[in-house]
Homo-oligomer: A and B are copies of this chain.
Amino acid sequence: MSELGRMPGIGQKSAERLAHYVLRLPHDEAMQLATAIRNVKQNVNYCSICCNIGETDPCHICGDHRRDHKKVCVVEQPKDLFTIEKAGFYEGVYHVLSGHIDPLENVDPEDINIDKLVDRARNNGIQEVIIATNPNLEGDVTAMYILEQLEPLGVKVTQLARGMPSGSYLEYANSAVIADAIHGRKSIQKD
C-alpha cells in the first residue's frame, strides 16, 4: 500500500482504496495489472533521435516519413509533446529535453538533452527549431540557452507565440499576459 501511496496524486486514503480494489480483484486480473506495470518498465524506452518515450526506437513519430523532419519542436517533457499532438495539426517532429535549465535546482544544460538537439541540428539538415518550452522563467532561460547554441549553425529558431489565450477574458489576465499581448500585437487585415 505504501508503494501505491508514492504515486503522484495518490494520498494515503486513495492508496487504501486502491489496495482494497486490488485485493478484491480476481487473481487473473491482478496478475494482468502487475504484468502491465512490468511491461511498461521493460518495453518503454527513449527514442534515440528525439528522446521521447516509446515502445520502438526510433519512436512512431521519428519513424513516420509523412512528417516534416526539417522542422523540430523542442518541448520540456513527453506530456508537452502529447499536448501538441492532441491539437492535431503539427506536422513536424519533436525533441524532448526531459527538463529545463534550473540553476536553483542544480539542473545545468548538460543535464538535459540539449547536446543531442545541437547534434541533430548540425548533422540532419534541420531548417527550423520551434522552441516550445513552458512560458515561464525556467522555460525562457532554457530557450535562450538553446538559441545561443543553434545560432552559430544558421538554423532558424522560433518560439511559441505569447499572448492572450484564446477563449479567455481580458479582465482575468494578469499584467504579464497583458504586456505580452500589447507588445506582441499584430496588424490585422481582412481575409
Contact = CB atoms under 8 A, between A and B. Distances in A.
- How many identical subunits does the complex contain? 2
A170 interface: yes
Does more than half of chain A's interface fall in helix, strand or loop, or is it mixed?
mixed
A143 B188 contact: yes
A82 B170 CA distance: 10
A87 interface: yes
A132 interface: yes
B83 A170 contact: yes
Most buried by B among A86, A131, A151, A188: A188
Interface string A42-70: 00000000000000000000000000000
A17 interface: no
A188 B157 contact: yes
